[in-house]
A and B are shown apart, each in its own frame.
Chain A
Amino acid sequence: MTQHTSVLNFAAAAGVAALLFAGPSPASAETIKIGVISTYSGPMATLGEEIDHGLSLYVKTHEKDLPPGVKVELVKRDDTGPVPDVAKRLAQELVTRDKVQFLIGVVWTPCGLAICPIANEAKVPFVSTNAAGVTMPRLTPYFARTSFTLWQVGLPMGKWAAQHGYKRAYVAVSDFAPGHEAGDAFTKGFTDGGGTIIGSVAFPLQNPDFVPFLQRVKDAKPDVLFLWVPAGPQATQAMKAYNDLGLKNAKVTVVSTQDLVPDEQLPLMGNTPLGLITSGTYSTAATRPANKAFLAAWNKEYGNTLVPDFMAVDSWDGMNMLFDVIKQTKGKFTADQAMAIIKHWKDPNSPRGPISIDPDTRDIVQNVYIRRVEGVNGKLANVEFETIANVKDPWKEMHPAQ
């Protein structure tokens, strides 16, 4: 009995000692807080979900590669949609209250534009994994982008259309900066290649009804229509209007950037988009080994509930970049050191092919693929058939910084 008790006592004492010794090590561990600002609620929540899943999946699958004692914590905040004053306040709170060392995410360019001054004042590196507004890197040296700019994908689409026998184009875009940038980029590529623009129209950003706008397009009888809406539910609505108005039978070819046929929306579009040609940076149908590995990890984590699209991959790559900063500095870095690494960051093996950050503009350099919507194994997919390698943002080459 006594012996028994002493054994127990010893075990308890050993346990306490073990706890005491084990105690300090997690406490002294470095936790890097990363602020995520994205749209988690409202009609556009799917976009935020893509970004969230891409970021979280990378953290989950690569946590083990972090230097010993270093942890990463994502602090997630909901900007509720394109509401810049909320986004700005959230960014302010994340840097002052939660003391985050990075800001990442952001669906909407207006929100991104509002966050840039905070990143600048607080000296916190801010990585956009979607918001594509072309001027953002000029607002602060602490900004970098792993998504794309609309000029980057729109211009090659215009060139391609002009080279493939289309002469008269109509441009229909959403009425906000990315929409106009996409339209301008297409127009530049198309007219440089010898085509003419016969008209253009802009849809309102919130709750648009596409039918009257597309009817106008149909009446103008172009042979190609550049149709651009923000990726997400609007893409499906726009395709539905395209179908209802019989634009396909009217021999109007639709071209766009990947935003019109995001992989995540394709299953909802029926057979309407078959044959549609878009330019883009990522497709789930790509056969690169890195993409297969990414898709396997995604399916294991999320199953078939959500198909990853370019936003998920852009976010995955963005987190990869931050992880590289943390790994190279063993978790101890200033904002300027982080930006120095980010500026020269590259990954030859992203799911979307080789990517790198342009040190001069802090925008991404990547392949742009021309893709066609085809049926693959009974499902629609964006099949890449032409590659334009290592495209820089053309807008910044056309408008050098003063």
Chain B
Amino acid sequence: MTAVAERVVASAAETFARRHRFRWYEALPWLVAVAGYFAFPDYLALGSQILATILFALSVDLVLGYGGIITLGQAAFFGAGAYTAGLLAAHGMGAPVIGLLIAAVAAALVGLISGVVVLRTHGLTQLMMTLMVAVMLHEAANKANTVTGGADGLQGMEVGPVFGLFHFDLYGNTAYFYCLAALFICWFVMRRIVHSPFGRSLTGIRENEARMHAIGSPVFRRRLVAYTISAAMAGVSGALVAQTTQFVATDALGFERSGNVLIMLLLGGIGRLYGAFIGVPLYMIAQDRFAAIDPVYWYFWIGLLLVLMVTFARGGVLGIVDRVGAVLRRRR
């Protein structure tokens, strides 16, 4: 009896240990990103926006995919980070990396404060609360004309060179690697988090909150921590976009940004860490190509793509990969 229990514990421990071992395919996104730099030197501006958006989608994945917190207001943190980096650069503090860190802290603060309120609610109410936080910040940025430039956007950002060495150039070389480095670091941190006991307890809360309460897990505190970390990541993403485009406008806080990132994440696959790496490029490249071919009706093609994905590929692209994998294994 005890031997069986010991074996069960040992095999469980083995499973967990295996879980965060690196697999060969985890290197793929980074190889593709570096290869993309050399293969498409004319597309670096789009490339760096894709990288920054992947980070944004990752932040959503942490709260939604792992924490089970339904959010339509992630743009609040994106915008907070973007405006923090933007205001710093507009007032003579243009060092990008420091700007990035301060933006992360500012966005985390917004996440922490709003999280205390938002996370006390559930379901639809929670959804509306997250939306409300973003809408309120959007309106505040719109009204604070003298600080943010209102609907015209923040003027006069001057971003310095990275580490005092690499200037942001017109072709986007610096921007691309800057975004790639930031994404890599955040991805590494997030990977550690979701495979840690903390990450497992988050998944537990997502799957069965009452049970987690019952085993004494501090549900609210766990969620708040996840929400804050996610906000910080979204803030970094916003700061990246602000610094690389050297412009911030109120659309950084807009509802469309929160909505679009959800769609991108769903396309890739939610709660899987790599969904963002597939969904975001898929959506943004499709959008770029459709809009270049047909600037008037491109929304139609995007819509068609989404309808097809939702109808035939629940669980996103990674869901298809899973199913194909399962079929192949059964054949064997």
**What residues of chain A have their CB less than 8 Å away from a CB belonging to chain B?**
40-41, 45, 76-78, 82-85, 88-89, 92-93, 95-97, 109-110, 113-114, 117-118, 121-122, 133, 175-177, 204-206
Q: How distant is the Cα of A205 from the Cα of B249 in the complex, in angstroms?
A: 13
Q: Is the CB of A84 within 8 A of B153?
A: yes
Q: Is the CB of B295 within 8 A of A175?
A: no
Q: Is the CB of A41 within 8 A of B295?
A: yes
Task: Say how far A176's CB is from chain B's closest CB, in angstroms.
Answer: 4
Set A77, A114, A121: member contacting B170, Cβ < 8 A: A121
Q: Is the CB of A89 within 8 A of B245?
A: yes
B90 at the interface (CB under 8 A from A): no
Task: Say how far B234's CB is from chain A's closest CB, in angstroms.
Answer: 16
> A93-B45, A110-B153 are known contacts. Are A84 and B295 too (CB-CB below 8 A)?
no
Q: Is the CB of B295 within 8 A of A40?
A: yes
Set A83, A176, A177, A204: member contacting B251, Cβ < 8 A: A83
Chain B 286-311, CB-CB to A under 8 Å as 1, else 0, gives 00000110011111000000000000
Q: Is the CB of B170 within 8 A of A122?
A: yes
Interface centre among B152, B172, B299 (most CB of A within 10 A): B152
Chain A residues, Cβ within 8 Å of B245 = 85, 88-89, 114
Set B151, B241, B298: member contacting A41, Cβ < 8 A: B298
> A41-B299, A76-B295, A110-B249 are known contacts. Are A176 and B170 too (CB-CB below 8 A)?
no
Q: Could you give 12 example pairs across A and B, Cβ below 8 Å?
A: A41-B296, A76-B295, A77-B291, A77-B292, A85-B49, A89-B45, A89-B245, A92-B172, A110-B151, A117-B246, A133-B152, A176-B152
Chain B residues, Cβ within 8 Å of A93 = 42-43, 45-46
Nearest chain A residue, comparing its CB with the CB of B241: A85
Q: How distant is the Cα of A261 from the Cα of B299 in the complex, in angstroms?
A: 29
> A78-B291, A83-B249, A118-B170 are known contacts. Are A113 and B298 too (CB-CB below 8 A)?
no
Q: How distant is the Cα of A111 from the Cα of B324 in the complex, in angstroms?
A: 45
Set A85, A95, A118: member contacting B249, Cβ < 8 A: A85
Chain B 225-238, CB-CB to A under 8 Å as 1, else 0, gives 00000000000000
B155 at the interface (CB under 8 A from A): yes
Q: How distant is the Cα of A163 from the Cα of B31 in the complex, in angstroms?
A: 71
Set A78, A82, A88: member contacting B151, Cβ < 8 A: A82
Q: Is the CB of A177 within 8 A of B295?
A: no
Q: Is the CB of A96 within 8 A of B142?
A: no
B150 at the interface (CB under 8 A from A): yes
Q: Is the CB of B295 within 8 A of A92?
A: no
Q: How distant is the Cα of A130 from the Cα of B18 in the complex, in angstroms?
A: 60
Q: Which 8 A-B pairs have the closest CB atoms?
A: A176-B151, A97-B42, A40-B295, A78-B295, A177-B152, A84-B249, A205-B151, A85-B245
Chain A residues, Cβ within 8 Å of B153 = 84, 110, 113-114
Q: How distant is the Cα of A109 from the Cα of B151 in the complex, in angstroms?
A: 10
B171 at the interface (CB under 8 A from A): yes
